[in-house]
Chains A and B, each alone.
Chain A
Amino acid sequence: LAKTTQPISMDSYEGQEVNITCSHNNIATNDYITWYQQFPSQGPRFIIQGYKTKVTNEVASLFIPADRKSSTLSLPRVSLSDTAVYYCLVPPSNAGNMLTFGGGTRLMVKP
Chain B
Amino acid sequence: NAGVTQTPKFQVLKTGQSMTLQCAQDMNHNSMYWYRQDPGMGLRLIYYSASEGTTDKGEVPNGYNVSRLNKREFSLRLESAAPSQTSVYFCASSELSATYNEQFFGPGTRLTVL
Are the C-beta atoms of B103 and A98 separated by less than 8 Å? no
Are the C-beta atoms of A101 and B44 separated by less than 8 Å? yes
Task: Name the one of A32, A99, A104 contacting B99, with C-beta atoms under 8 angstroms.
Answer: A32
Task: Name the one of B4, B41, B43, B103 contacting A97, with C-beta atoms under 8 angstroms.
Answer: B103
Of the four ranges (under 10, 10 to 19, 20 to 34, 35 or more), the interface on chain A belongs to 20 to 34
Are the C-beta atoms of B102 and A49 separated by less than 8 Å? yes
Residues of A61-111 contacting chain B, CB below 8 A = 87, 89, 91, 93-94, 96-104
Kindly report which residue of chain B lies nearest to residue A33, judged by CB atoms: B101
Are the C-beta atoms of A44 and B108 separated by less than 8 Å? no
Residues of A35-53 contacting chain B, CB below 8 A = 41-46, 49
Number of interface residues of B (CB under 8 A): 31
A23 to chain B, nearest CB (A): 16
Residues of B77-114 contacting chain A, CB below 8 A = 90, 92, 94-108
Are the C-beta atoms of B43 and A44 separated by less than 8 Å? yes
Are the C-beta atoms of A91 and B101 separated by less than 8 Å? yes
Q: Assess A93 versus B99: contact at CB under 8 Å? Given A42-B107, A43-B90, A43-B92.
A: yes
Are the C-beta atoms of B31 and A97 separated by less than 8 Å? yes
Are the C-beta atoms of A98 and B90 separated by less than 8 Å? no
Q: Is B48 an interface residue (CB 8 A)?
A: yes
Q: Can you identify 15 A-B contacts, CB atoms within 8 angstroms?
A: A30-B99, A32-B99, A44-B105, A46-B102, A46-B104, A96-B50, A97-B101, A99-B33, A99-B101, A99-B103, A100-B45, A100-B59, A101-B43, A103-B40, A103-B42
- List residues of A whose CB falls within 8 A of some B CB: 30, 32, 34, 41-46, 49, 87, 89, 91, 93-94, 96-104
